[in-house]
Structures are given as C-alpha cells and as structure tokens.
Chain A
Amino acid sequence: MSETVDGPLPTERAGLEPLLSVRDLHVHRGEAHILQGIDLDVAPRQVTALLGRNGAGKTTTLLALLGLLPASGEIRLDGRQLEELPTFKRAQHGIAYVPEDREVFTQLTVAENLRLAMQSREAEQRLERVHEIFPELAKRRSQPAGTLSGGQQQMLALGRALLQPASLLLIDEPTKGLAPIVINEVVAALEELTTDTTVLLVEQNLRVAQQLAVNGYVLDHGTVAWNGVVDDLLEDPDLTQQLLGVAGRGDSE
C-alpha cells in the first residue's frame, strides 16, 4: 500500500500559480468511496500527467472535474470556483474534454461534430487551425463520424476540444487502442498543440506520458500516491514498479 503524500504540490515547488487547483475531491458511488480526497494542481501552458493503475480513479477524477459525476470538494479554474456549476457552465468557463473512448457523435458527420463545438465567432479561426493540424478532418468533413478509423476519431475528438474557448484540456488516454504508427501521429499532434495549452492528461502509455508531460500525479485506490516531475518517477524503476506495477519506463502496453 502506498501512503498519501503530504508534501508540496509541484506547482508550489516551482512557485507557479496553478491554472487548475483541486482540493479534497471526493466521489462516492453507492457504498464505494471512489475518490478519497484528491488534491492536485495543474500548471499553466504545460502538460500534467495523471497516472495510476486501472481502477485507481483517473477517469473518475476527470468526470468529477467536469461535473459529470456527483462529487464534493473544491475546484478552482483560473481563480473561478466551479464545483457548484453544471457541466455545460464548467465547459463554458474553459474546460474542454477529450474522453477515453473519443465519444464522437457517430451519427453526425465530421463537419457537424465540429460545428457542434463552435459557439462563438472566434471558433471560425480556430477551425482553420484544427484543419491545419488535422488535414484529414477537412478531407472527410461530410463523412459520418461513425465510419472513421480509431485514429481519425481521436483526431476529431481532439479537434472538437480545440474549437472550444478552453483554457484547460482534459485528455483521457488518447493513444488507447491505436496502432503504433497512429500513436506516433497522435502524439505528434498533441506535442504541437500542447506547446501553448494547459493539459491534464490521463495516459497508460508511460513513454507517451513522459514525452508530453512535465509534472505528474500517481493515483492509487482513490488517493494521490505520488506527485512530482514525471521524469524522476519513470527513471526510478523501483518507484515505477511500486506505484504503477510495471517494470520501468516505456514497457507498459
């Protein structure tokens, strides 16, 4: 069993003002206490990784941040309290979400999927940029999203999130179930767009996590088991083994 860390959060150590700060986040489901008081900070304009074994509570954390699951605790984005707001207001205040299974609208065309996310005039300009990063989406604009490949759906899900006026992207396992070549493509796109965006990234593929993220958190049984610089974690095989149950960097699926 790992014990909860009470040390300073990475942003505190770096003296950075976090964009997102979460305090004492709890989620219950029936009798199960799934999140047991999560504290985490996400620094602006960089990728923060959320790691942990299956069932540690990573996706639950993202859903709780979005208000898609009933939760208690404090959620502050850019100085604004979000915990009382319904999901759509949280999104309007700047959280965009790329879910684990893409969750593109399969019956809608690519263009309609994107149009759904466009709610302001600036979105038109952002659409151009999305088409630049993912030319595939422009090419397949009138194709039903359900007929896209897994990688293309992932691009659509990312592009959709980029169209929102978001200050924070929550991305859940963007490489899950993708072929290695496609993973490289998606990672390259993520690298490009994360240079100036704040991201909280859930990722099982530690190589990808290390490539993209600076700071990270490890969840275990609904608590924060570790936080710090991702490189420090993944270069310590014993610690990685203990926290994530894998042999070391890059060996996970």
Chain B
Amino acid sequence: MSLQTDAPTTADSASLPVPSRPSRLPWVVVGIGLVFAVLPFVDVPLPGVFVGELSAPGTLQILAIGLVFAGLAMSYDLLLGYTGLLSLGHALYFALGVYGTNLLLLHTDLHYAVAVPLVLIGVGLVATVLGSIALRVRGVAFAMVTLAFAEALHVVVEADPLSISGGEEGLPLGSESIPDIFVGVVNVRWVYWVALAFALAAFFICWRAVNSRAGRVWQAVRENEDRVELLGLVPFGFKLQAFTIASVLAGAGGAVYLLVIRGANPQVASVLFTLNVIVMVVLGGLGRLWGAALGGLVFGYLSMRLPGLARAGVFERLPDWLEGPLTEPLFILGTLFVILVLFAPGGLASLIERLGASKGRR
C-alpha cells in the first residue's frame, strides 16, 4: 500500500520479544519421547485405531511416518511460524535428503551413518545458495521463487536425464550399504526408533533455535521486518539462517524417510508435498513447535490409516459420491485444514489450549 503516514517511527519502543519464561515443554517432550520409545514392547491391540498391536510392524511403520512428518513440520514451522517466510519449496530439501542419501548408498561404499552427514552438508550448501537468491525478494515473490526452485528438482528427478534417479518409478533403497538392523519387516522397530530420534532431535534443535537471541530476531522479523532494520539488524542474515537450519532439518527428515519407506519416490519433490507440509503445520498450529509436531503426527497417521479403513469397507454403505472422496486421505485432511483455518486459526494446538484453559477455570 502506498499511502504513507508521517507517524513517528518509534525505534525506541521497538525491541525484541522478551524471552518467554522457562517452560516445562522440553520435559513434557522427553516424557512423551520415552512413552513412544517403549511402544515396540507394548503388545496391546488398539482396535479401530491400529490394525494389530501397538508393537506390530504395521503400526510402527505408520507411527514412524508420523514422526518423520512431525520433525519435518517443526522444521517448516521455523520458516512460516517463527520467521514468517512462506516457502513453497520445502519439498526440495526433503527430497535432497531422500535422493541424496539413497544415491550415496547405491553408488558408494559409504555407511549410512557417514552418508547422511555428507548429504546434510550438501543440503546446507544448496539451501544457503538458493536461500540467498530467494531471500532477495519478500512475501509472495519469495513463495514463487522457492516454488520454482523446488519444481526444478522435481523436473530433474522425474525426467531423470542422467538415468540415476529412476524417473517416475523412483529408486528403491540401496539396502546393501545400510546396517542389517534397518532391513526387513522384523526390524521395523529399529527404523521406528531412528524416526523417533529424528523427531526428538528436531524438536530440541528447533526449541533451542527459537529461544535463542537469533530466534527472537526471527520472530521480530515475522512481526515487522522494517522495524528490525531500524534496530540496526540485517534481516537477510537472520532469515537465511532460519532458512538453512530448516532446510537441513528437512534434509535429515528425508534421509530418515528413505529408511522408513525403503526407497525414493519423486512425489516427495513435488509442490503437492510442500502443500502437505503446510497442511501439517497449520493443522497442528502455526508458531508452536508442539502444534506443528502434532500436525505432522496426525497427518501421517490419517494419510496412512484412512485408505486402510476404506479397504476394510468402513465407507462401503455410503453413496458412491461420498465413498470415493472419503477414501482419499487428502480430501479429508484438506477439508479439515480449510475448516480449521476459517474457524480455529490456531489449529489443533489452540483448540487443545482452549480446552485446557476452560478445564482449568472450572
């Protein structure tokens, strides 16, 4: 808007957000982490919620996907929720993690534990370069540039000009180079623990980051970028920092996802995948790490579980025009997302907080 005011720009009243009081959240997360960690030993069935016991490979597989998505969603929350950067290209870094790791495993003798750090260094470099180009513009232009970069990778992966990415078919996991404990259905629990470790690590890294001085500058940038400049700080560097951290975390998520689904699929590079990540974060609650994590878990669970329900004939008695869409998890998630955006802007997290608050009052 071009109408300007002669209002005093009070640099003195603009200060960084005050650090929030010490929170119990990390301890709660540690507790939840412990509960998740022992699930592979719990032979209790949860009929309806999961097929088979909690410790069943199928259940752990679904939970592992949910945990990867939880970590991925938190990394995106750093961008949109904390720094106010609407990226439409987060899939790029996740896909780099998936494909980069898999290619190293397939074409070198590197151990998984060596390949992943190498890939993450690469992802960090790519994010720094592409981020410094994209961050030259703000707002919607930024969204479009990130989208275009991500689409470039998607095109390469699908067209596969060097015949290395497997094109539309994708690329099965190079399983010779990974430890035996990650191979085979019996060993899903190990993969599950890796996913859990990733989600927990993502939380603590994000938590440290947003509560650091830099993290408070990110939030100030989100509120009002011009005012951050008035404080004598350069928003560009801080935004690039958030962008790079979030991208590397997404890359790590990709490396874990490769183990979980045992292969690389070009869909993880598509714009639809980025939109899914946005749905996770907003569904859970933008700007709250635990909300984003919850959104990722819910998204992972529903997207894996709803087709199963459909196969089990749960929707069979419904008319065709309803049955078709209801077997599409993205229809239900997308609709839920739209409803939440309109009627509960804080997502599931704010609904839970409100519930907690009203209970507290009683």
Contact = CB atoms under 8 A, between A and B. Distances in A.
Verify whether A and B have any Cβ pair under 8 Å: yes
Interface in A61-104: 63, 68-69, 99-101, 103
A40 to B, nearest CB: 16
Interface string B7-24: 111100110000000000
A58 B13 CA distance: 21
Nearest to A97: B3
Given A30-B14, A31-B14, A68 B7 contact: no
B6 interface: yes
B4 interface: yes
A14 interface: no
Given A30-B14, A31-B13, A31-B14, A103 B8 contact: no
Nearest to B1: A68
A208 interface: no
Interface string A169-201: 000000000000000000000000000000000
A161 B30 CA distance: 65
B5 A63 contact: yes
Contacts of A57: 6-8
Nearest to A27: B7
Interface in A1-52: 27, 29-32, 34
A32 B8 contact: yes
Contact of A99 (B3, B7, B9, B223): B3
B6 A59 contact: yes
B233 to A, nearest CB: 17
B225 to A, nearest CB: 13
Tell me which of B2, B7, B10, B13 has the highest count of chain A C-beta atoms within 10 A of its own C-beta.
B7
Given A31-B13, A32-B13, A55 B3 contact: no
B3 A56 contact: no
A34 B5 contact: yes
Contacts of A60: 5-7
A32 B224 contact: no
A54 interface: yes
Interface residues of B, number: 14
A55 B8 contact: yes
A143 B4 CA distance: 26
Contacts of B9: 32, 55
Contacts of B227: 30
Nearest to A62: B5
B224 A56 contact: no
Contacts of B223: 30
Nearest to A202: B6
A62 to B, nearest CB: 9
Contacts of A31: 10, 13-14
A103 B4 CA distance: 11
Contacts of B5: 29, 34, 59-60, 63, 69
A69 B3 CA distance: 10
A59 B4 CA distance: 8
A39 to B, nearest CB: 19
Nearest to B11: A32
Interface in B1-53: 2-10, 13-14
Contacts of A29: 5, 7
A207 interface: no
Contacts of B3: 63, 68, 99, 103
A101 B224 CA distance: 24
A221 interface: yes
Contacts of A103: 2-3
A55 B8 CA distance: 5
A99 B223 CA distance: 27
B148 to A, nearest CB: 27
A49 to B, nearest CB: 15
Contact of B8 (A34, A63, A101): A34
Nearest to B5: A60
A34 B9 CA distance: 9
A103 B1 CA distance: 11
A31 B227 CA distance: 12
Contacts of B4: 59, 100-101
A54 B5 CA distance: 10
A122 B111 CA distance: 83
Tell me which of A30, A58, A68 has the highest count of chain B C-beta atoms within 10 A of its own C-beta.
A30
A57 to B, nearest CB: 7
A69 B223 CA distance: 18
10 contacts: A30-B14, A30-B224, A32-B7, A55-B6, A55-B7, A55-B9, A58-B6, A63-B3, A99-B3, A101-B4
Given A59-B7, A60-B5, A103-B2, 19 more contacts: A30-B13, A30-B14, A31-B10, A32-B8, A32-B9, A34-B7, A54-B6, A55-B7, A55-B8, A56-B6, A59-B6, A60-B7, A63-B5, A69-B5, A99-B3, A100-B6, A101-B4, A103-B3, A222-B8
Interface of B: 2-10, 13-14, 223-224, 227
| A-B pairs with lowest CB-CB distance, top 4 | A59-B6, A55-B8, A34-B7, A60-B5
